[in-house]
Amino acid sequence: MARAFLFVLDSFGIGHAPDAAQFGDEGADTYGHIATACAAGKADRDGLRAGPLSLPNMNALGLEGAAGIAAGKSPLEDDAITGFYASAQEISSGKDTPSGHWEIAGVPVPFEWGYFPDTSPAFPQELTRAVIAQGKIPGILGDCHASGTEIIARLGEEHIKSGKPICYTSADSVYQIAAHEEHFGLERLYELCETVRELVDPYRIGRVIARPFVGESAADFERTGNRRDYAVPPPEPTLLDRVTQAGGTVRAVGKIGDIFAHQGVGKLYKASGNEALFDAALKAIEDARAGDLVFANFVDFDSLYGHRRDVAGYAAALEAFDRRLPEALARLQQGDLLILTADHGCDPTWPGSDHTREQVPVIGTGPGIGAGARGMRGTFADIGETLAEHLGLAAGPHGQSFLKAPDA
C-alpha cells in the first residue's frame, strides 16, 4: 500500500515565472542567484560556509534538470539522475504562502487577496478601533510595514511598558501581532489573534500571525517557536481533505496545519528551525501507515534567509538540508513517494524583502518510480494530483498527474 511524503522548501524558487513582470520580479531566481553568488565567493562566511553551492543529493534527484526546464532548456540526458524532475508554474493570483500551498494541494486560489498599503498608518482606522475595543488592549504599536525582527527590537521595550501589542504587516496579505510571551502572555496573544482573524475577514486578509518573543531589552529580544498562523480555510476540498476522507492520516509538520486552517489535518508535528523540522518529518515518516500523507514545511529558507536577503545563510541552509536528505531517502519503502518542492520564491539577491514570483522545482523519487523529466507543469496543482494518483485517490478538478509518463 502507498504512502506519500511532500517536503516544501519554503521560498526555494528556480527562476522567474512567465508573469513575473506583473509582480516586478522579472529576472528573479532564488536558486540560480544563490548558486552564482557562491561560485563567485560572495556567499562565503567564516564559520558557516565557503565555496560553490554543494547540493549533491538534490542534484542526483534532478534539481539542475528542473532549473534547466524553468530556463527553457532541454531535459538533461544523464543516467546518473535517480529521480524525476519538473518545473512548475503558479496560476494563483498571488505569490504568498497560502496560495502556493493550497495550489500544491490541488486548489488554486481564484481570487485576489487583500493587502494593507505601505503607509503609516497601514491599517484602516476603523479596523484599529475594533482591534483595540474587541481585543481589550490599551492601543497598538507599529501600524506599518516592517521586518519582524526589526520592529520588535525597535518597539519591544515600549510594548513591555505600555502593554500595547506590536501590529504590523508586509507585502504579503497578513496582519502580524508581536507580543512578549510573559509580560503580555502567550495565550492572551493567541486570543487576540483569533479576535483579529474575524475582524480582517472583510478585508480579504489571508493570515493573522502571532509572533511571540522573549527577552528584556532590544539587545536580547528573540522570537520563539510558538508562532501561530490563523489562515482562512481553502475555498474547496484540498488533497488533505481527500486523503482524510479516504481513511488516511495527514501528518502535518511545521506550519502546514495553520496554513490549511487545520482542515484535513490528522496529526501535528510541531518544531522550530529546519533541523528540528527535519527530525519531526523523519518521525512522521516512521509513524506513517498505508494511505497516509506526510506534508512538511521548512520555513527557515523563507523567514530567516529569503526575507532578510541573507545569501550566505540561505546557501548554508540548503546545504544542511541536502546533507540530511539521505536520512529521508533511507526510510522509503516499496510503495512510497517523496516529492520536494516550494511554494514561491524569495530571491535573497532581489531588492526589498518580499517574495518573488518564480517557478518551483518538483523533484522526487520512490522505489519503482521511473526517473527522468516530467516537463514544465502549468500549475502547482499537478503536484497534488500526482500524489493523489499515487495514493489511489480519484482525480480532482485541477491539475494533472505526471507520475507515470515521463514528458520531455
Amino acid symbol at 168:
Y
Give residues with Cβ within 8 angstroms of 292, minimum separation 6. 3, 4, 243, 248, 249, 250, 251
pLDDT at 213 over 70: yes
Instruction: Classify residue 79 by burial, with Cβ atoms within 10 Å: 0-12, 13-18, 19+.
Output: exposed
Higher pLDDT, 79 or 100: 100
Least confident of 76-85, 205-214, 245-254, 305-314: 76-85
Largest CA distance in the chain: 65
pLDDT at 406 over 80: no
State residue 147's pLDDT score. 86
Q: Which residues on adjacent β-strands are paired with residue 376? A: 87
First to last CA, the chain: 29
Give residues with Cβ within 8 angstroms of 93, minimum separation 6. 99, 109, 110, 111, 112, 113
Residue range 340-345: mean pLDDT, rounded? 98
Cα gap 344→360, rounded to integer Å: 7
Category of 15 on φ-ψ map: left (φ > 0), alpha (ψ -120 to 50) or beta:
left
Residue range 205-222: mean pLDDT, rounded? 95
Q: How is residue 42 written as a grid cell?
A: 560572495
State residue 83's pLDDT score. 96
pLDDT at 408 over 60: no
State residue 225's pLDDT score. 85
Q: Which residues on adjacent β-strands are paired with residue 86? A: 362
State residue 405's pLDDT score. 53
pLDDT at 280 over 90: yes
Asked if 100 and 343 touch (Cβ cutoff 8 Å), the reply is yes
pLDDT at 77 over 80: no
Q: What is the DSSP letter of 21?
A: G
Cα gap 185→189, rounded to integer Å: 6
pLDDT in tens, 110-161: 888 999 999 999 999 999 999 999 999 999 999 999 988 899 999 999 999 9
SS3 269: strand
Amino acid symbol at 295:
F
pLDDT in tens, 296-329: 999 999 999 999 999 999 999 999 999 999 999 9
Higher pLDDT, 225 or 216: 216
State residue 257's pLDDT score. 95
Asked if 253 and 273 touch (Cβ cutoff 8 Å), the reply is no
pLDDT at 104 over 70: yes
Across all residues in the chain, what is the average pLDDT? 95
Q: What is the DSSP letter of 233?
A: P
Category of 299 on φ-ψ map: left (φ > 0), alpha (ψ -120 to 50) or beta:
alpha
Asked if 374 and 364 touch (Cβ cutoff 8 Å), the reply is no
Cα gap 59→322, rounded to integer Å: 9
* Of residues 202, 130, 204, 217, the one with CA closest to residue 167: 130
Asked if 75 and 69 touch (Cβ cutoff 8 Å), the reply is yes
Position 404 confidence tier, pLDDT thresholds 50, 70, 90: confident
Q: For the packed helices 63-70 and 30-39, what is the interaxial angle rounded to 10 degrees?
A: 110
Other Cβ atoms within 10 Å of 55 Cβ, number: 20
Amino acid symbol at 159:
H
pLDDT at 211 over 80: yes
Asked if 314 and 301 touch (Cβ cutoff 8 Å), the reply is yes
